[in-house]
Amino acid sequence: MNARRAMTLLEMTAAITVLGVISAAILPVIASSADAYASAARTRRDTERIAFAAERCVRLLREADAGAAVGELDISIAAPDHVLFTSGRGFRLDGADLVLIMPGEPEAPICRDVDSLVIQYLGADGVTSTSATPNATHRFNVTIESGDLALSVTAFARAQIGG
């Protein structure tokens, strides 16, 4: 027998309806995974940006200038959002930019879109604030906030530990 069988209009409509239901169920999953990927990429980029700035700040604080007396640092400005050593090196928050200050060079932004910078000056016990006497600082706690991210790091001045 030579019977040809084709899809009827009813079968075609049923197939298109099933494909439409499956597509409608899968589309939100695909869209949410794309949003999650974009969010993760943005978070990773922001984390790397803030981590770079924190590393530059910590490096500068570790290499703090030794003061005239043994066990002291040579700090000329010690503010919650600004540190400057007598040599002219330091960093500060300038609006939404965290800028690096080097003597004889223009200020260079090391991180943009910073919401807050908090520098704590602590003594040898790690608890006592030395904000009133910054030359007696042994460690610095630095917190950088940008958007939903906050990164806190601690730096020990090498001049204080005999480095």
Instruction: Phi first, then psi: give them for residue 74, nearest 5 degrees.
Output: -105, 75
Distance CA 2, CA 48 (A): 70
Q: Is 98 within a domain? A: yes
Only one residue has tokens 């910590």, namely: 58
Q: Is 2 within a domain? A: no
Q: pLDDT digit string (tens) for 75-119?
A: 999 999 999 999 999 999 999 999 999 999 999 999 999 999 999
| Percent helix, strand and coil across the chain, each to the nearest 5 | 35, 30, 35
Q: How sure is the predictor about 160, in pLDDT bands with cuts at 50, 70 and 90?
A: low
Structural domains of the chain, count:
1
Is the pLDDT assigned to residue 1 strictly greater than 70?
no
Distance CA 151, CA 101 (A): 21
The pTM of this model reads: 0.77
Q: Is 109 within a domain? A: yes
Length of the chain as a residue count: 163
Distance CA 160, CA 130 (A): 14
Instruction: Phi first, then psi: give them for residue 57, nearest 5 degrees.
Output: -65, -45
Q: Is 151 within a domain? A: yes
Domain ranges, residue 146: 39-156
CB contact set of 45 (below 8 Å; sequence gap of 6+): none
Q: Is 94 within a domain? A: yes
Q: Is 7 within a domain? A: no
